[in-house]
Amino acid sequence: MDVFDGNQHMVYGNYFFNDCDTPAARKVSGTAGHSADLHPCLYCETVLIDVGKLDLYHPQDTSYNVLQLQLMLTSAFFSREALPQRQSAILKNHGVCWSVMNDIPNSGPVLHTALDFMHNVFLGVIAHFFTAVLFAAHMLPGAGGINSAKNRFENLINSIRWPSHVTQLPKNMGENHSLKKADEWRCLLTVTPVLLWYTWRDDHDDLPDSAPTISPNKKISTNHSRNRRKLYKAALLLCAGVRLPATRTITLLQAQAVLLVINHHLSIHLYDMVRLYGPVYGWWLFAFERFNGMFEKVNHTGHDGSQMESTLLRNW
Which carries the bigger pLDDT value, residue 83 or residue 180?
83
Maximum alpha-carbon separation in the chain: 76
Q: How confident is the model at residue 258 (pLDDT cuts 50, 70, 90)?
A: very low
**Angle value at C-alpha 131, between 128 and 135, nearest 5 degrees:** 145
pLDDT value at residue 257: 54
76 exposed, middle or buried (CB, 10 Å; 0-12, 13-18, 19+)? buried
Average pLDDT of the chain?
A: 84
Does residue 189 contact residue 169 with C-beta atoms inside 8 Å? no
Q: Which of 126-135, 202-211, 240-249 has the lowest mean pLDDT?
A: 240-249
Residue 254 has pLDDT above 90, yes or no: no
146 alpha carbon, distance to own chain's centre = 35
High-pLDDT (> 90) share of the chain, %: 30
- Which of residues 288 and 96 earns the better pLDDT score? 96
- Residue 24 above 80 pLDDT? yes
pLDDT single digits (tens) 142-179: 776 788 888 899 899 989 888 888 888 888 776 777 78
pLDDT in tens, 196-239: 999 999 888 899 999 988 877 778 878 888 999 999 999 999 99
The whole-angstrom separation of Cα 266 and Cα 255 is 14
CA distance 261 to 185: 17
Percentage with pLDDT > 70 across the chain: 87
Exposure on the CB side of residue 122, measured as CA atoms within 13 A: 24
The answer on pLDDT for 21 being more than 80 is: yes
How much is the average pLDDT of 59-83?
80
Model pLDDT, residue 76: 92
